[in-house]
Structure 1
């Protein structure tokens, strides 16, 4: 119930920020919402306790974000250490985590946080090049700044080279130099596109995987999504459903219809047998048809023709 309330508030924030929202019908998947704004695509997950974000879910979020050119964000309420503080970015497994109010400020006001939580406390990024320039221009020694900030001379050198600083030390330097040194943190570029390759290939889909690879697609299987894979080449990226239970195909197609609209991508579902060439506007490809295809252009043509039926 608490999560549903949080999701409702997130939807309201996104609507106020001018985002279009796609919400899968499936629950218990790697994300809760996908939102498209004028110049950004967000993959969002709501968690009451951010410690519940498992590494495999985070990995899937990062892969989806990379391949779909999106940004993953988790909105949370608390961790084992206490409430999530406003104005601070937390992270788990490389995914940025915000409080609801911080997310609201970012979406509606365009305000980016400056502080992030890390083992040992709260830190900020400072403009090291500016710090060095001002120190040299004003004839201030490393020792003087070290005394002001309460750190060593070596630490001041590392600040100038780009190392992060504690909030206290950064504020002391800003106050002493009367210059803004603390930089905002780009939530959308947070640990952007860390190199992740998900090794998950279901055994019962191995033949489908090999066929898609053979005709020229890179295939990324998922394990907690409303679709089973992303099939990608240098021109297209298809949300790829695989279905064996005919009773669930329509439900899968409905989910894909929602997601393709918001993602501005195309999709198809591979099935053993079907009397339909499309369901809910999503093209259906029989496995036997797939195995007879030799060029990816044939899939592209089939998808375009059947989605127009």
Structure 2
């Protein structure tokens, strides 16, 4: 299976590069132990994070939790792109669920890049179809069907039809087929895999990544959360910490000591590449005694000690907060309110 996975990864990278902007992330070097293999942009420069594997069974729980953590913290959708979910071959045009991780085939991803988005998704033990509730109601009323008549034709309850139209639930595949037969295919809605607010993709429980490696990470996360920022820790990606909030989005690579300069430079290079792809910032944090390490890096101006980094981020948060407060006051001024008191 490992050889099949290597072939699948190489083929997928080639095919995706033909239709999208692929930002390859090659750290760690062992692809099977890597949380994320690439960031992928569509024509509108919207980005997703991708983990490639022939089968989902090749991806450990730690890698999946990290990928979910990066996704939820950075507000960027993430997918496992695979040939199989366990022993089952993936069907194109379907978004699968694997213990909270979203899984699609490479063909589904290619089609999505070309504008042909999926409409079917797995929800627990059922496959469902995303429908446009308002369109469903309009078509039902245009046909002159009451809720009861539509329920009878679809072989569901009146409440189910009511809930489909409100968007609170989605029909299973067999029910959707009956609705489409009566009302037409335009009641179906696409699942926008590039949209972080897509309701179908936001149902899984968020993750905070994996356990910390050392006390510096513990202290950094504690202080960043004290600034009301969302934070996630990673071990199997080119970053150690990611954070977001106050219109900030940043990746941080930490020197734990003992790394070979070339290996650490590779890690930082991949981190900065990933940060740029998600329109975020990238930083390196080192112990004061390792300040000389900055000279070995391509962008030494991005290197901070922990204290310098917290001060820097704290300043950015304060700056963003002051800007937000100024805009709020300005909006009040424009309403004619007296703010001179």
Which bracket does the TM-score occupy, shorter chain normalised?
0.7 to 0.9
**What residue number does 2:135 align with?**
130
Q: Which runs of 5+ in 2 are unaligned?
A: 317-341
Runs of 4+ in 1 over 6 A off after TM superposition: 284-287, 297-300
The answer to whether residue 171 in structure 2 is matched with residue 169 in structure 1 is: no
Shift of 1:203: 4.2
Instruction: Return closer, same or farther for 1:136/1:215 CA change in 2, 3 Å cut-off.
Output: closer
Q: Which has the higher strand share?
A: 1
Question: 2:329 aligns to what?
Answer: none
| 1:247 shift after superposition | 4.1
Distance 1:168 1:297 in 2: 52
In the superposition, relative to structure 1, how do residues 259 and 131 fare at CA in structure 2: closer, same or farther (>3 Å)?
same
Residue 240 of structure 1 is aligned with which of 244, 252, 255?
A: 252
What does residue 242 of structure 2 align with? 230
Partner deviation per Cα, 1:5-26 (whole Å, 9 max, x = no partner)? 2221221222112404222231
Do the aligned partners of residues 85 and 281 (structure 1) sit closer, same or farther apart at CA in structure 2, a change above 3 Å counting? same
Correspondence 1:290-305 to 2 at 5 A: 290-291=306-307, 295-296=311-312
- CA distance change for structure 1 residues 104 and 129 in 2, over 3 Å: closer, same or farther? same
Q: RMSD across aligned C-alpha pairs, in angstroms?
A: 3.3
| CA drift at 1:124 | 0.3
- Shift in alpha-carbon separation, 1:36–1:227, aligned structure 2, 3 A: same
- After superposition, the Cα gap between the structure-2 partners of 1:135 and 1:29, relative to the gap in structure 1 and judged at 3 Å, is same
- TM-score normalized by the length of structure 1: 0.80
Question: Whose helix fraction is larger, Structure 1's or Structure 2's?
Answer: 2
Q: Does 2:192 match 1:186?
A: yes
Q: Which residue matches 1:17? A: 19
User: CA, structure 1 residues 170+14, in 2 after alignment: closer, same or farther (shift >3 Å)?
Assistant: same
Segment drifting more, 157-166 vs 274-283: 274-283
Aligned to 1:273: 290
What is the TM-score when the length of structure 2 is the normalising length?
A: 0.73
Deviation string for 1:223-250 (max 9, x for gaps)? 3222221255646544322224444343
2:233 match: 221
Q: Deviations for 1:46-90, whole angstroms, at most 9, x for unmatched residues? A: 122224555543332233224434221111122346211111110
Paired with 2:258 and 2:5, the residues of 1 have a C-alpha distance of 32
Alignment gaps of 5+ in structure 1: 301-309
Matched length: 298
The verdict on how the C-alpha distance between 1:100 and 1:197 changes in structure 2, with shifts beyond 3 A counting, is closer
Cα drift, residue 33 of structure 1 = 1.7
Q: Is the 8 A contact 2:285 2:306 kept in 1?
A: no
211-220 vs 225-234, which deviates more? 211-220
Q: 1:282 to 1:268 in 2, by over 3 A?
A: farther
Asked if structure 2 preserves the Cα contact closer than 8 Å seen for 1:31 and 1:43, the reply is yes
Hey, what's the Cα distance between the residues in 1 that align with 2:285 and 2:159? 59
Match for residue 336 of structure 2? none
Q: Distance in 1 between matches of 2:57 and 2:313?
A: 44
Matching residue of 1:41: 47
Question: Aligned residue for 2:105?
Answer: 99
CA distance in 1, matches of 2:128, 2:36: 28
Q: After superposition, where does 1:137-156 map in structure 2 within 5 Å?
A: 137-156=142-161
* Maintained 8 Å contact 2:283/2:303: no
Q: Tell me how far apart the structure 1 counterparts of residues 240 and 4 of structure 2 sit (CA, whole Å).
A: 29
Q: CA deviation at 1:97?
A: 0.9
